[in-house]
Amino acid sequence: MRARLAVTALCLAGLWFAAPARAEDPLDAAKSVIENQISAFLKEDVDTAYSFASPKIKNVFPDKNQFFDMVRKSYEPVYQPGNYAFGRSKILSDGAVVLQEVLISGREGKDWTAVYELGRQPDGSYKINGVQMLKNTTSTGI
């Protein structure tokens, strides 16, 4: 019985003194959101792709199919990339905003730089606020 109490006391002490869990790194979170949305585009998964759009984007495109059509027509390199790699990134406002370059080889053979802006949401997750497309692959900084 004493041994069981000692083990229980040690376990509780371990929980008490354990370091608090660290929140996910903003850059890792942003890259994950971008990768997951690109994957959804490649699979034609409208619901999943739309789930990564911020409330700001959803206000402009309240219908997920409208959003998907806009991306298909105006952001073809993001919608169906050949290959892509992450470039430079920048954290602003103590992690409230993340800017992330994505270097893309489009299917038609043209190279692009997509600069994503992601915003931290009240629940701590990141959502995509917008993407700026540039016709080059040289990372010039953000």
pLDDT tens by residue, the chain, 142 residues: 554 444 444 444 443 343 333 457 999 999 999 999 999 999 999 999 999 999 999 999 999 999 999 999 999 999 999 899 999 999 999 999 999 999 998 777 789 999 999 999 999 999 999 999 998 756 666 6
What single-letter DSSP state applies at residue 93? G
Residue 139 CA to residue 61 CA, distance in Å, equals 30
Domain ranges of the chain: 24-134
Rounded to the nearest angstrom, the gap between the alpha carbon of residue 27 and the centroid of all alpha carbons in its chain is 8
78 closest CA partner among 36, 127, 35, 38: 38
| pLDDT at position 126 | 98
Topology of the domain covering 24-134: Nuclear Transport Factor 2; Chain: A, (3.10.450)
Residue 33 CA to residue 109 CA, distance in Å, equals 25
| pLDDT at position 141 | 61
HSE-up of residue 105 (Cα within 13 Å, Cβ side): 5
| pLDDT at position 16 | 39
pTM of the model: 0.79
| pLDDT at position 74 | 94
